[in-house]
Structure 1
Amino acid sequence: MTSYEATILVVDDEQEITELIALYLQKAGYEVYAADNGAHALRMAETLQPDLILLDVSLGRMDGIEVCQALRQGVCADVPILFLSCKSEDGDIVRALSEGGDDYITKPFSPSQLVARIQAHIRRRRTRERGSEEPASSLSFPGLDIDFHSMEVRLNGEPISLSVKEFELLSVMARSPKRVFPLEELYRRVWQTDSMGDTRTLMVHVSNLRKKLESDPSRPRWIQTVRGFGYRFCPAENCEEQTS
């Protein structure tokens, strides 16, 4: 019996692309299943409970965004979902990641880059499930409480709902208050791979995190931009700002 690294569901209505992706992933040791429309994808996800889903944005009647929304409400609530799309506009990326996507890869892409991204997401999820990535602890700041064991965050005593990637971003920065994280380093810490020069996925997740944490996202208090360098977590209201 063949032992696979993980099970991956590829959702794309272009058969040639699906077959090409499946070929590379199978060579990398993954078990691959395919769906060519949204309804089929939801049925297969329910049955397979895959370790990761590759999801094309453009699927016809039920597009990838709608499929992602439905997956997040079912058994794949915490399964990594990587969007594939020929659309590279920032608005498209923002929408995809805001609706539950963990990553966004623009077509055409390098097969080796795709495999590297998949490996990083699966490795990250398994490390988190084993509980070996971070000790069971918590951090408290004035108005903000983070529980790393339960992955719960409270803002002024009220729970806020964060995606896995949003929580991981907050965790990395909050464990090193006031430290400036360059974009590439922060990407590697959270996605466990290089950004390949495209950090837009990171910036969209930071934007989404700010919308949930900040009373005024345009003037962030918790997650600040240090122009020309990256981001930092500011634990106090009087934290000296280095942003514009």
Structure 2
Amino acid sequence: MKKLLIVDDDLDLVDLVTRAFIQSGYDALGAANASDAIDATEVGLFDGAILDMRMPDGHGVDLCKQLRVNILPSVPVLFMTSRDDLDAALAGFSAGGDDHVIKPIKLGELVKRMERLLEITATENLATRRAGLISSVVERAGIAAHDFDDVAHPGSVRQ
């Protein structure tokens, strides 16, 4: 079961979003601020995070940067914001966010967006693992990369 971290200072919204994800088959944990979110990551791993842009003890952008560098480098991060402007979206993307929704949120859309981000992440992780496996097999077999060019482009002449 995928586990999500949901961070917003509006505890009613955290409860609503948490319940929506639980009903959709996820394990979800809510946090009211950046400090609580960091504490939650110290006791458990998460597969994704949903962050509010504005929190009483910091900015969601700063929390995202901190999570990306130290704690959750490769999990999808989706921002929730009441700001409906390009600057807010760009700030989230620059911090390492993968998507954003504008409040008031539509729960069905939020769940589907996170599901899609988790699918993309799983596909990327699988591709990375496969590439690593292929590289290690090639390395152990002593095959040089240029030998693959001969197979891919038969008849070509190496200089």
- TM-score, length basis structure 2: 0.77
- Is 1:15 matched up with 2:5? no
- CA distance in structure 1 between the aligned counterparts of 2:76 and 2:41, rounded to whole angstroms: 12
Aligned to 2:125: 129
Matched residue of 1:19: which SS? helix
- CA distance in structure 1 between the aligned counterparts of 2:128 and 2:55, rounded to whole angstroms: 38
Deviation at 1:130, TM superposition (A): 2.0
Deviation at 1:131, TM superposition (A): 2.2
- CA distance in structure 2 between the aligned counterparts of 1:109 and 1:10, rounded to whole angstroms: 14
Within the candidate set 51, 57, 61, 1:55 is matched to 51
Unaligned 5+ residue runs, structure 1? 137-148, 150-244
Aligned to 1:119: 115
- CA distance in structure 2 between the aligned counterparts of 1:38 and 1:67, rounded to whole angstroms: 6
Aligned to 2:140: none
Determine if contact 2:76/2:118 at 8 Å carries over to the other structure.
yes
Higher relative contact order (CA 8 A, sep 6+): 2
**Cα distance 1:132–1:66, how it changes in 2: closer, same or farther (>3 A)?**
closer
Pairwise CA RMSD: 1.9
**Cα distance 1:132–1:58, how it changes in 2: closer, same or farther (>3 A)?**
closer
Q: Return the index of the structure with the highest Cα Rg.
A: 2
Deviation at 1:44, TM superposition (A): 1.0
Deviation at 1:38, TM superposition (A): 0.6
Matched residue of 2:123: which SS? helix
Aligned to 2:35: 39
Unaligned 5+ residue runs, structure 2? 136-159
Question: Which residues in structure 2 correspond to 1:68-79 (within 5 Å)?
Answer: 68-79=64-75
User: Deviating runs (4+, > 3 A) in structure 1?
Assistant: none
Deviation at 1:79, TM superposition (A): 1.1
- What's the CA shift string for 1:1-23, capped at 9, x where partnerless? xxx3x000000111110111011
- CA distance in structure 1 between the aligned counterparts of 2:29 and 2:89, rounded to whole angstroms: 25
